[in-house]
């Protein structure tokens, strides 16, 4: 039988080889039933309430049963329990029963459809996966309504688990020591399932679409978690190749884990801070595991938008307090809400914007919704009492926006003082440099803030006037374009002359090949995905800064990207043959 190749989404790196076990999909029956009498409506509302309570008990029990290796994920169930009380699920479903006079299952299914419509136009992966949380919670409620609960499931031998979809509550019930790898029809790299798989060290591929219906129990398979591949019925040469890859990856993990806590300074003694970009409390463990020296970017979108409503100050404060305490003295740069464009679903009423990516987003949205902005600033300030917190404003284009944001911050401080609520006396404020206007006026903006953080993803997109999600033009998304390199150097120089910190937190910062050139351009603080940090620190320790400053000077005077690529490849191979000699 020829090998069948399935391409999905790389969710957790590593290689798994073994037999497949297909976990049956639980599909609760959704029947339509019209209600004729008031007592029927009351009965269906009571059924809904019982199902909500039973689901809450189920999540609480799953939380209590968590293996110690998953303790950092207990807050997932706290978030799920909060969703059970959220108006999107509870109130809307109850209202549908009352108004449309339908049974609870049908009303809950309508709620799911409405939620799906809210998220339909979103392309941002982080926000898109929050809809999956709603799906997971509704799925468990539906199971209790239909009394079709999860069956007992025991794996007889270590196997690759194949399933249509898997919620965190389902994962807790499984003996994870028997799972070699995970393959799902649904999901993506930022789903909770993917994050848990990474924490457990399980290779995982998600978004395979039809793998659960194509695979059979006992089929041999290979998962390549880094490439997002599943090979069904592989040949012996393929098995041999991936066995070698499996050993190589295991050795690589051992190496980077051993290197994680080593310092990050150049050969000529310049200290480089290597930090993490995270968005969930569950990722704090990875910051420590992989030797992070800070959290250079804490995205607040997940903790805010997972409620499908504006969160309260207390909810935001509790999340940020846990962040500060969990970092054990490491600093965290908290970015205020960066919504807008395709990130408005479930949070606020959407206006009709012809081009939302150039509309009301980032700091513009926060200034417009001042009451929410003040609540978030109060929450951040209160959390600063428990650890080292900095505040960063996104999508800033002018000094006027910074001044207004700082006025709001002062208003938040004054209100906390009136209530005698504690917060740190000195909380640094900074901005994301991701709009060309901000980069051009960086020397002026530097007078207003304590630090800059360069968001290369949007900066490249806006500078090059391209949408990187557009297949027609995404090839023009070039981090090594001379204009981008010049912007980086210009902003670094403005920050240095003003005596303020300068960090880079976009995807470019997490590419080890770019690290020497970035340092040469004047950036000495980088933040990235936690697992990449040891590799970047390893590169930093082999950098002669003076040498790479000269390379950077040459690079910014080249005409074409391929010339910069060739220059970079030559010097990487020449200076770091053990790391890049194979290029």
Give the CATH number for residue 568.
3.20.20.60
Range of the domain at 287: 260-580
Confidence bin at 156 (pLDDT 50/70/90): confident
Mean pLDDT of the chain: 87
Q: Tell me which of 197, 217, 251 is where a domain ends.
A: 251
Confidence bin at 67 (pLDDT 50/70/90): low
CB contact at 8 A, 297 and 453: yes
Does residue 304 have an active-site annotation? Answer: no
Tokens of 356: 């939302």
Tokens of 155: 């794996």
Q: Which residues pair with 205 in a beta bridge?
A: 10, 183
Residues 76 and 205 in one domain: no
Q: Against a cut of 0.85, is the pTM above it?
A: no
Residues 374 and 504 in one domain: yes
Using CA atoms, how far apart are residues 499 and 483, in angstroms rounded to an integer? Answer: 24
Does the residue 527 lie in any domain?
yes
Give the pLDDT confidence score for residue 153 in this predicted structure: 60
Is the pLDDT confidence value at 342 over 80? no
Residues 281 and 335 in one domain: yes
Residues 314 and 433 in one domain: yes
Does the residue 42 lie in any domain?
yes
Residues 190 and 315 in one domain: no
Mean pLDDT value of segment 494-516: 95
Does the residue 32 lie in any domain?
no
Does the residue 277 lie in any domain?
yes
**How does pLDDT run across 346-395, given as a tens digit for each residue?**
455 445 555 666 777 889 999 999 999 999 999 999 999 999 999 999 99
Mean pLDDT value of segment 311-320: 93
**How does pLDDT run across 255-274, given as a tens digit for each residue?**
888 888 899 999 999 999 99
Give long-range contacts, CB 8 A cutoff, 24+ apart: 132-136: 132/186, 132/187, 132/191, 132/192, 133/79, 133/80, 133/83, 133/192, 133/306, 134/83, 134/88, 134/89, 134/308, 135/165, 136/80, 136/167, 136/168, 136/169, 136/192
Is the pLDDT confidence value at 186 over 70? yes
Using CA atoms, how far apart are residues 366 and 432, in angstroms rounded to an integer? Answer: 14
Give the pLDDT confidence score for residue 123 in this predicted structure: 62
**Catalytic choice (140, 164, 192, 524):** 192
Identify the weakest region by mean pLDDT among 25-39, 379-393, 474-488: 25-39
Q: Tell me which of 200, 231, 251 is where a domain ends.
A: 251
Percentage of residues in the chain having pLDDT higher than 90:
54
Using CA atoms, how far apart are residues 444 and 452, in angstroms rounded to an integer? Answer: 12
Q: Cβ of 318: how many Cβ atoms within 10 Å?
A: 18
Does the residue 285 lie in any domain?
yes
**How does pLDDT run across 542-551, given as a tens digit for each residue?**
999 999 999 9
Q: Which residues pair with 297 in a beta bridge?
A: 277
DSSP state letter for 446: T
Does residue 192 have an active-site annotation? Answer: yes
Give the pLDDT confidence score for residue 61 in this predicted structure: 81
**How does pLDDT run across 424-447, given as a tens digit for each residue?**
989 999 999 999 999 999 999 999
Distances 524 to 170, 275, 492, 500 between C-alpha atoms, Å: 43, 11, 9, 12
Confidence bin at 509 (pLDDT 50/70/90): very high
Distances 349 to 118, 339, 369 between C-alpha atoms, Å: 10, 12, 12
* Residue, of 189 and 10, whose pLDDT is higher: 10
Is the pLDDT confidence value at 7 over 50? yes
* Residue, of 65 and 93, whose pLDDT is higher: 93
Tokens of 567: 């220059």
Q: Cβ of 49: how many Cβ atoms within 10 Å?
A: 13
Q: In what side-by-side order are the strands of the sheet with 220-224?
A: 4-7, 229-232, 220-224, 15-23, 159-163, 179-184, 204-206, 9-12
Does the residue 31 lie in any domain?
no
Confidence bin at 173 (pLDDT 50/70/90): low
Residues 271 and 396 in one domain: yes
Residues 142 and 158 in one domain: no
* Residue, of 566 and 153, whose pLDDT is higher: 566
Residues 520 and 386 in one domain: yes
Residues 22 and 47 in one domain: no
Residues 295 and 389 in one domain: yes
Domains held by the chain: number: 3
Give the CATH number for residue 18.
3.50.30.10
Mean pLDDT value of segment 529-550: 93
Does the residue 33 lie in any domain?
no
Confidence bin at 58 (pLDDT 50/70/90): confident
Residues 81 and 113 in one domain: yes
Residues 561 and 535 in one domain: yes
Does the residue 501 lie in any domain?
yes
Is the pLDDT confidence value at 158 over 50? yes
Q: Tell me which of 146, 173, 199 is where a domain ends.
A: 146
Give the pLDDT confidence score for residue 135 in this predicted structure: 82
Give the pLDDT confidence score for residue 345 in this predicted structure: 45
DSSP one-letter string for 223-258 = EETTTTEEEES--HHHHHHHHHHHHHHHHHHHHHHH
**How does pLDDT run across 103-124, given as a tens digit for each residue?**
999 999 998 888 887 777 666 6
**Catalytic choice (164, 505, 524, 571):** 505
Give the CATH number for residue 55.
1.10.274.10
Using CA atoms, how far apart are residues 196 and 176, in angstroms rounded to an integer? Answer: 11
**How does pLDDT run across 203-221, given as a tens digit for each residue?**
999 888 888 888 899 999 9
């Amino acid at each position: 039988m020829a090998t069948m190749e399935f391409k999905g989404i790389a969710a957790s790196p590593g290689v798994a080889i073994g037999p497949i076990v297909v976990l049956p999909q639980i599909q609760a029956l959704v029947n339509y039933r019209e209600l004729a009498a008031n007592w029927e409506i009351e009965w269906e509302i009571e059924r809904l309430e019982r199902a909500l309570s039973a689901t809450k008990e189920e999540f609480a029990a799953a939380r209590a049963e968590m293996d110690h290796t998953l303790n950092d994920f207990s807050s997932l169930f706290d978030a799920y329990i909060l969703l059970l009380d959220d108006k999107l699920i509870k109130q809307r479903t109850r209202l549908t029963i009352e108004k449309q006079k339908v049974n609870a299952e049908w009303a809950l299914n309508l709620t799911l459809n409405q939620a799906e419509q809210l998220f339909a136009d979103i392309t941002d992966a982080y926000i898109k996966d929050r809809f999956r949380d709603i799906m997971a919670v509704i799925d468990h409620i539906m199971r209790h309504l239909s009394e079709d609960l999860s069956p007992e499931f025991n794996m007889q031998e270590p196997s690759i688990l194949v399933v249509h979809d898997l919620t965190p509550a389902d994962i807790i019930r499984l003996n994870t020591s028997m799972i070699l790898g995970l393959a799902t029809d649904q999901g993506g790299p930022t789903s909770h399932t993917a994050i848990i798989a990474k924490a457990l060290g399980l290779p995982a591929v998600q978004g395979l679409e039809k793998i659960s219906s194509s695979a059979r129990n006992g089929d041999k398979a290979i998962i390549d978690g880094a490439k997002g591949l599943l090979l069904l019925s592989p040949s012996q040469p393929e098995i041999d190749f991936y066995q070698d890859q499996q050993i190589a990856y295991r050795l690589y993990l051992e190496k980077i884990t051993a290197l994680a806590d080593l310092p990050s300074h150049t050969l000529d003694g310049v200290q480089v801070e290597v930090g993490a970009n995270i968005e969930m409390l569950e990722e704090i463990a990875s910051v420590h595991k992989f030797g992070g020296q800070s959290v250079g970017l804490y995205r607040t979108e997940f903790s805010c938008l997972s409620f499908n409503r504006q969160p309260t100050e207390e909810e935001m404060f509790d999340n940020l307090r846990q962040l500060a305490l969990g970092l054990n003295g490491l600093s965290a740069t908290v970015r205020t809400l960066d919504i807008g464009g395709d990130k408005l679903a479930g949070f606020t009423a959407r206006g009709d914007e012809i081009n939302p990516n150039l509309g009301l987003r980032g700091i513009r949205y926060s200034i417009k919704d001042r009451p929410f902005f003040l609540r978030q600033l109060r929450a951040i300030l209160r959390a600063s009492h428990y650890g080292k917190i900095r505040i960063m404003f996104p999508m800033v284009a002018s000094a006027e926006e910074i001044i207004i944001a700082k006025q709001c911050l002062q208003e938040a401080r004054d209100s906390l003082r009136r209530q005698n609520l504690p917060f740190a006396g000195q909380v640094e404020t900074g901005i994301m440099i991701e709009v060309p206007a901000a980069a051009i006026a960086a020397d002026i903006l530097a007078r207003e803030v304590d630090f800059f953080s360069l968001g290369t993803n949007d900066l490249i997109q806006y500078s090059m006037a391209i949408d990187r999600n557009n297949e027609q033009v995404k090839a023009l998304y070039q981090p090594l374009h001379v204009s981008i390199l010049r912007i980086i150097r210009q902003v670094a120089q403005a920050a240095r002359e003003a005596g303020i910190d300068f960090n880079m937190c976009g995807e470019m910062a997490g590419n080890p090949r770019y690290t020497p050139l970035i340092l040469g351009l004047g950036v000495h603080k980088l933040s990235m995905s936690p697992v990449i940090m040891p590799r970047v620190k390893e590169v930093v320790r082999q950098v002669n800064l003076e040498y790479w400053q000269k390379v950077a000077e040459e690079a910014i005077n080249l005409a074409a990207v391929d010339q910069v690529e060739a220059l970079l490849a030559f010097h990487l191979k020449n200076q770091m043959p053990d790391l890049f000699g194979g290029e």
